[in-house]
Amino acid sequence: MNIEKFIKNKKIKLTDARISILEKLFAAHRPLSYNDIKEHISMDKATFYRNIIKFQEEGLVSSFESNDKNRYFEITKSPHPHFICTSCNIIECVQEPVVFDLDGYQIEDIILKGKCESCVNVK
């Protein structure tokens, strides 16, 4: 995916800092925290978080809070659930759809917690 194309008709200037964040998120197969990518980007963390907030305001990036007190970010794709392992804290995107409807409520996101394939076989 081309970043200039991705950013089209969003009101965001494409700075070097922003490009490097978006590139990292595009390359990932799962949501990433600031911690996950801070080695691979050069900006100050204030710049990182301020840009992430912009991305979210424009709907380019989504995020959620995990168990480990970190916030995880990913490029906004078609909605899908996420799995968080309560043993190793790994986070995975879930492809299988979870059908669920709660009367009067509008569900936007689903987070499943439990033991991942690796951790379920360890005691």
What is the rounded distance in angstroms from the CA atom of residue 90 to the CA atom of residue 85? 5
Residue type, position 70, single letter: N
Backbone angles phi, psi at 63, to 5 degrees: -155, 160
Site for Zn ion contains 88 (CB under 5 A): yes
Cα of 60 vs its chain's centroid, Å: 10
3-state secondary structure of 77: coil
Q: How many residues bind DNA (CB under 7 A)?
A: 23
Residue from 23, 56, 58, 64 that binds a second copy (CB under 8 A)? 64
Site for a second copy contains 59 (CB under 8 A): no
3-state secondary structure of 37: helix
Residue from 45, 87, 98, 107 that binds Zn ion (CB under 5 A)? 87
The footprint of Mn ion (CB under 5 A) covers 74, 93
The footprint of Zn ion (CB under 5 A) covers 85, 87-88, 116, 119
The footprint of a second copy (CB under 8 A) covers 64-67, 69, 83, 86, 94, 96, 98, 100, 102, 104-117, 120
